[in-house]
Homo-oligomer: A and B are copies of this chain.
């Protein structure tokens, strides 16, 4: 039995010494730890991330800190999020092979995961800000969502296993708490950690915070998020959690994983495409982004279409769980009964994802954790104009989600708002 060592944060200096004896690492990158090159590259809000290169190769070492990196040690956050990230990654790999980084090593006490170094992958958000039209993301992400969200639910799993897993992830309560507060509530009142581009957005922010229908919808969505333990979610599936090349797409950072509503992952993801769309105007100094804007709307449409088609395919071919059992439909010769149930389910996912998407847009502009799409627009007036359009778009789709029936309608709305100078 190895002795349990107290948690200690790694540094560029201590990493080779502390992990130099870890076979999972030495066999992959080279056994002479003294020769390792170590860089700390964590640009996220929570953790340390090191790239370690040796003579044979490279790997990533991700370590949780006992607090929120973005805020500091005044905001403690438990190390066990690393445990949930590890378990989420193993499940995602099983349900959607090849979609996440390979895991080489996990040390629960040190809250540390050693994983595949993805290269030359870059963060999708960065690529979209740079105006890169990646050809495969819609298909890859649509499939990832369909596979993980379907196969983590009672449509597919043995219910006893899903409930055991649900109980396991129910302990990821501090990270869920972040979402519950920072995404669903704080943006809608004058909460301490909020910030927004001011004074340009002050008027609109006041308007949104006085918007009763919007607040009620946001709270109903929070209720759904907290109570509807439908499937294992990634929990933080935005363009900053996806790494891409022209030919490959990988989802990373599922430390917010827990059992929640299918629509949440899909809605958050699409929201980030729509925000990328509204932020393009702020990145036109080197030329028009018309083509990029058209591309982004195509990507949202294709992502939803791929998700829908694959979910439907799995519905027909892998629906072996306890929900909508074949014994009641197909086995009775009632194929259309099964299709009717599918239409109901997809219709709910659609309606709810629009809500989650609208809320996600708001929290990225009104709350604590902003995103680089807007933040990198140096001209504050220009940034505020982009953000205002996104805010109005988010409000519209969240509040009117039951009256919007296709992704095409949403994209037309986005295009309308984008072109409308009076907004």
Interface residues of A (CB under 8 A from B): 153-154, 159-160, 163-164, 166-168, 170-171, 173, 176-177, 180-181, 185, 188-189, 191, 209-210, 212-213, 215-216, 219-220, 222-223, 226-230, 322-325, 327-329, 331-332, 334, 336-337, 340-341, 344-345
Closest to A213 in B: B340
Nearest chain-B residue to A327 (Cβ)? B189
Q: How far is the CA of A43 from the CA of B302 in the complex (A)?
A: 59
| Nearest opposing residue in chain B for A211, CB measure | B337
Residues on B with beta carbons closer than 8 Å to the beta carbon of A167: 166-168, 170-171
Give the residue name and chain of the B residue nearest to A336 (CB).
B212
Q: Is the CB of B219 within 8 A of A180?
A: no
Do B189 and A160 touch across chains, with their CB atoms under 8 A apart? no
CB distance from A221 to the nearest CB of B (A): 11
Q: Cβ of A171 and Cβ of B163 under 8 Å apart? A: yes
What chain B residues lie within 8 Å of A170 (beta carbons)? 163-164, 166-167, 170
In the assembled complex, the Cα of A336 lies from the Cα of B211 at a distance in Å of 12
Q: Cβ of A322 and Cβ of B180 under 8 Å apart?
A: yes
Report which of B159, B176, B336 forms a contact with A177, defined as CB distance below 8 A.
Answer: B159
Which residue of B181, B191, B226 contacts A154 across the interface (Cβ within 8 Å)? B226
A228: chain B residues within 8 A (beta carbon): 227-229
Distance of A359 from chain B, by nearest CB (Å): 13
- Docked complex Cα distance between A216 and B336 (Å): 10
| A375 shortest CB reach to chain B, Å | 26
Question: A324 to chain B: which residues have CB within 8 Å?
Answer: 219, 223
Contact A341 B229 (CB under 8 A): no
Q: A154-B226, A323-B226, A328-B188 are in contact. Are A219 and B341 (CB under 8 A)?
A: yes
- Closest Cβ of chain B to A84, distance in Å, is 13
A180 to B340, CA, bound (A): 20
Whether B159 lies near A163 (C-beta < 8 A) is no
Inside 8 A of A220's CB, which chain B residues have their CB?
A: 341, 344-345
Bound state CA distance, A128 and B341, in angstroms? 37
> Contacts A322-B180, A324-B219, A328-B219; is A212 near B340 (CB within 8 Å)?
yes
B219 touches A323 (CB 8 A): yes
A to B CB contacts below 8 Å, 13 in the list: A159-B177, A159-B226, A163-B170, A164-B170, A185-B322, A185-B325, A185-B327, A185-B328, A189-B327, A210-B332, A215-B334, A222-B322, A223-B324
Residue of B nearest to A212 (CB): B337
B173 near A159 with CB under 8 A, answer: yes
Chain B residues lying within 8 Å of A223, measured Cβ to Cβ, are: 154, 323-324, 345
Instruction: List, in ascending order, chain B residues with CB within 8 A of A341's CB.
Output: 216, 219-220
Shortest C-beta distance, A250 to chain B (Å), equals 28
A153 surroundings in chain B (CB, below 8 A): 227
Closest to A177 in B: B159
Of listed A188, A219, A325, A332, residue having the most chain B CB within 10 A: A219
Cβ contacts under 8 Å, A229 to chain B: 166, 227-229
What's the minimum C-beta distance from A235 to chain B, rounded to whole angstroms?
Answer: 14
Check if B216 sits within 8 Å of A323, measured CB to CB.
no
Across the A-B interface, the 9 shortest Cβ-Cβ residue pairs: A167-B167, A167-B170, A227-B230, A212-B337, A163-B170, A219-B324, A216-B341, A229-B229, A163-B173
Q: In the complex, A327 Cα to B160 Cα: how many Å?
A: 38
The answer on a CB contact under 8 Å between B215 and A337 is yes
In the bound complex, do residue B215 and residue A329 qualify as a contact, i.e. CB atoms below 8 Å apart?
Answer: yes
A349 to chain B, nearest CB (A): 12
In whole Å, how far is A306's beta carbon from the nearest beta carbon of chain B?
24
Contacts known (A159-B173, A159-B177, A226-B322); A334 close to B185, Cβ less than 8 A: no
